[in-house]
């Protein structure tokens, strides 16, 4: 397996929030329609969201989509739509979660039972919660990174919509018949919201080509979605760049390859964590413990990093540069320009098979 050694963008503030933060339950508020005008105006003490600006817990912002969000945790201007651990939709200004009147017929939450992303449960307090990330029965009131409040019948956080992804679950299973169960389809679908342009840009053919290209590359990196972590443990201490000002707070041997794209190096964990609103620099093990987080790190690299190439893999596919350019952005001269033609051919073979399963043509420029 090849390694990702791309130098990512340098840094913002180190995120040190715990994964399953214990957040005290807050009392519910009455609907805005039942409040006085003054109370509603007080709820709407918002500012326009600005990337990079520091927000304290409880700050309310109006996002670019016209909706309102409230900071669940203080943060240095993370995107409210992407960094959902830090931000919640806010209804006090007329947006966010609205009450619904639909029928609720969801099972009671059971501690220790496995829940896939999108599962809805009724908790012991009589309220409903939806799993933002798959989990082994964590408490919805305590583990607020895994669960979000859900309003049955309308509004609220809705489950991911697998139907909007160009790869169906049956096609995904056909591509990876021997995959590790950690690499779940639901985890992939849950991660898609982090980069909404992925596999949704361009014609139907281009969308399918990009999805196939991404999956072909992660297939190569993980041996068919089998390996979650880098297999050569002797390499583990090598991925700490001590020259970075934030160092390696999780330990010098903590930044080995993990996940679909085998994310490695402390600076990549820092950059990916900052972009996704996750404490990956201090807790890199999130990538090997949560399927949606693992998929998000792969999509982060695919959509934002040029690596040793000249463009992101996403841009290579949507701008017609071809599958070969994605290989260059991932592994550069290690494989391209005659570096390792066998590895290149392996990636191309997988791409041709996957794009065929999706009923699309592969396009040109397959090699690098």
185, 169 contact by CB (below 8 A): yes
Element (H, E) at 120: strand 120-122
11, 245 contact by CB (below 8 A): yes
Q: How many residues appear in the chain?
A: 368
Could you give the CA distance from residue 99 to residue 109 in angstroms, rounded to a whole number? 21
Tell me if residue 72 is catalytic.
no
Strand bridging mode 46-48 / 60-62: parallel
Residues 6+ apart with CB under 8 A from 327: 217, 335, 336, 344, 347, 367, 368
Tokens 């993370």, residue located? 78
Residues 6+ apart with CB under 8 A from 52: 12, 76, 77
Tokens 């049955």, residue located? 152
Could you give the CA distance from residue 276 to residue 144 in angstroms, rounded to a whole number? 16
Catalytic-role residue among 72, 210, 221, 335 = 221
Provide the annotated active-site residues. Answer: 221
């Amino acid at each position: 397996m090849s390694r990702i050694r791309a130098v990512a963008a340098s840094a913002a503030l180190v995120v040190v929030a715990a994964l399953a933060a214990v957040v005290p339950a807050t009392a519910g508020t009455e609907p805005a329609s039942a409040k006085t005008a003054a109370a509603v105006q007080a709820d709407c003490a918002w500012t326009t969201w600005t990337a990079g600006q520091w927000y304290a817990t409880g700050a309310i912002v109006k996002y670019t989509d016209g909706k309102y969000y409230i900071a669940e945790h203080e943060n240095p201007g993370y995107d409210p739509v992407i960094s959902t651990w830090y931000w919640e939709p806010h209804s006090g200004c007329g947006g966010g979660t609205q009450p619904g009147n639909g029928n609720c017929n969801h099972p009671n939450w059971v501690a220790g039972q496995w829940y896939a992303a999108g599962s809805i449960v009724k908790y012991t307090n009589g309220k409903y919660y939806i799993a933002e990330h798959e989990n082994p029965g964590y408490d919805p009131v305590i583990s607020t990174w895994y669960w979000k409040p859900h309003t049955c019948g309308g509004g609220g956080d809705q489950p991911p919509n697998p139907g909007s992804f160009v790869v169906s679950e049956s096609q995904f299973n056909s591509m990876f018949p021997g995959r590790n169960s950690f690499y779940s389809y639901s985890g992939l679908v849950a991660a898609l919201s982090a980069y909404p342009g992925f596999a949704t840009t361009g014609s139907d053919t281009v969308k399918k080509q990009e999805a196939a290209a991404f999956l072909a590359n992660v297939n190569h990196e993980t041996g068919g979605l089998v390996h979650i972590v880098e297999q050569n443990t002797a390499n583990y201490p090598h991925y700490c760049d001590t020259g970075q000002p934030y160092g390696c707070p999780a330990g010098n041997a903590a930044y080995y390859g993990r996940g679909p794209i085998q994310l490695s190096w402390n600076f990549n964990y820092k950059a990916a964590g900052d972009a996704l609103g996750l404490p990956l620099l201090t807790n890199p093990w999130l990538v090997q413990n949560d399927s949606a987080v693992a998929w998000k790190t792969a999509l982060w690299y695919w959509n934002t990093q040029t690596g040793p190439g000249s463009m992101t893999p996403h841009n290579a596919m949507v701008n017609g540069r071809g599958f070969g350019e994605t290989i260059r952005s991932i592994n550069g001269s290690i494989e391209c320009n005659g570096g390792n033609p066998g590895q290149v051919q392996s990636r191309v073979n997988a791409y041709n098979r996957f794009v065929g399963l999706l009923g699309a043509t592969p396009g040109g420029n397959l090699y690098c």
